[in-house]
Amino acid sequence: MKNRVLFNLIARRYGLWIAGILLVLITIWIVRWRRPESMDWQFIQAFGIRLPMRYGIHGIDVSRHNDRIDWARVRKMEAYGVRLQFVFIKATEGATLSDKHFKKNWREAKKSALRRGAYHFYHPTRDPLKQANNFIRNVDLSEGDFAPVVDFEVVNGQSDETIVNGLRVWLQTIEDHYQARPIIYTNGNLYRRYIKGNLDDYPLWIADYSASHLRSYNPDKLYLWQHNQSGLVQGIRGQVDFNVFVMDENRMSEICL
């Protein structure tokens, strides 16, 4: 109704042709500049979730909880022009544990031409140096792989100082060994309490399932966004974590060997 009234007012003053052109331009402006952020998302039935389509590089992360994976099917899957291009694979946890499917997943992901990365689940109650050495013993990285990732999502009742200092030891030890600055994976609450202001020099991978934008994080360090944990992928049983690379595509090399 409002559009019709606006059209009639313009038509009386400027004529029908000009009124039509102006109305089209006004509509384009409204759609482009006043559209809700939800329009940047698209529900992709094949993956079972909404994907933030403003980004072009999509990937997943997996662990032993995903059981045996058919990597050829994972790589071949495509829906609405979206194909998975990278994967992060759990390698180790704590000071002694290793993921029972890591070696096979690591090998098969490379055969499937997916860019791969390995992550360590960090326990603040364990010796950070022993945890770093556990990762080093189990993970050999090649050129093009993502830098190592520390998965920081539990505090186990430890003090802020213990957590920050322990993470710093792990990160520095890993960087010295691989000659690549590690990536920190965490959620918004832990980022604000422990990472921000303490470990700002490291690339960030944030898990945030509630936001359609990431303005509250450092735009110069935020590279990866885990936006959903309920995706579906051919070749993988059950639900899968979905991620996107949020920087310009030509900056991918900044977090790779």
- 3-state helix/strand/coil string of 148-200: CEEECCCCCCCCHHHHHHHHHHHHHHHHHHHCCCCEEEEEHHHHHHHHCCCCC
Say yes or no to pLDDT of 159 above 90.
Answer: yes
H-run or E-run covering 97: strand 97-98
Give the model's confidence band at 22: pLDDT under 50 very low, under 70 low, under 90 confident, else very high. low
Is the separation of the CB atoms in 86 and 112 below 8 Å?
no
Determine the residue type at 207.
Answer: A
pLDDT of residue 2: 43
What tokens were used for 218? 């450092």
| CA angle (63 as vertex; 62, 68 as ends), nearest 5 | 90
Is the separation of the CB atoms in 46 and 37 below 8 Å?
no
Judged by phi (left if over 0) then psi (alpha if -120 to 50, else beta), residue 126 lies in: beta
- Helix, strand and coil content of the chain, in percent to the nearest 5, comes to 40, 25, 35
pLDDT tens string 209-220: 987 668 889 999
- Mean pLDDT, range 146-171, rounded to an integer: 98
Give the model's confidence band at 15: pLDDT under 50 very low, under 70 low, under 90 confident, else very high. low
Residue appearing with tokens 């360090």: 221
Question: Considering 78, 153, 160, 254, which one is annotated as catalytic?
Answer: 153
What tokens were used for 229? 């944990």
Say yes or no to pLDDT of 8 above 80.
Answer: no
Q: Are strands 78-79 and 49-52 parallel, antiparallel or unpaired?
A: unpaired
Within 13 Å, how many C-alpha atoms sit on residue 206's CB side?
Answer: 24
Bridge partner residues of 90 (DSSP): 119
What tokens were used for 70? 């058919």
Q: Tell me if residue 61 is catalytic.
A: yes
What percent of the chain clears pLDDT 70, i.e. is strictly above it?
84
Q: What is the pTM of this model?
A: 0.85
Give the contacts of 187 (CB within 8 A, at least 6 positions apart): 153, 206, 207, 208
Distances (CA, A) of 208 to 2, 39, 229, 244, 255: 38, 18, 10, 12, 20
Say yes or no to pLDDT of 242 above 60.
Answer: yes
Is 90 strand, coil or helix?
strand
Say yes or no to pLDDT of 33 above 50.
Answer: no
What tokens were used for 257? 């060997």
Is 38 strand, coil or helix?
helix
Lowest mean pLDDT among 4-18, 23-37, 89-103, 210-224: 23-37
pLDDT of residue 7: 45
- Range 190-193, long-range pairs (CB < 8 A, 24+ positions): 190/152, 190/153, 190/155, 191/217, 193/160
pLDDT of residue 40: 83
What tokens were used for 238? 């059950």
pLDDT tens string 38-92: 448 999 999 999 999 999 999 999 999 999 999 999 999 999 899 999 999 999 9
Q: Tell me if residue 161 is catalytic.
A: no
Say yes or no to pLDDT of 37 above 50.
Answer: no
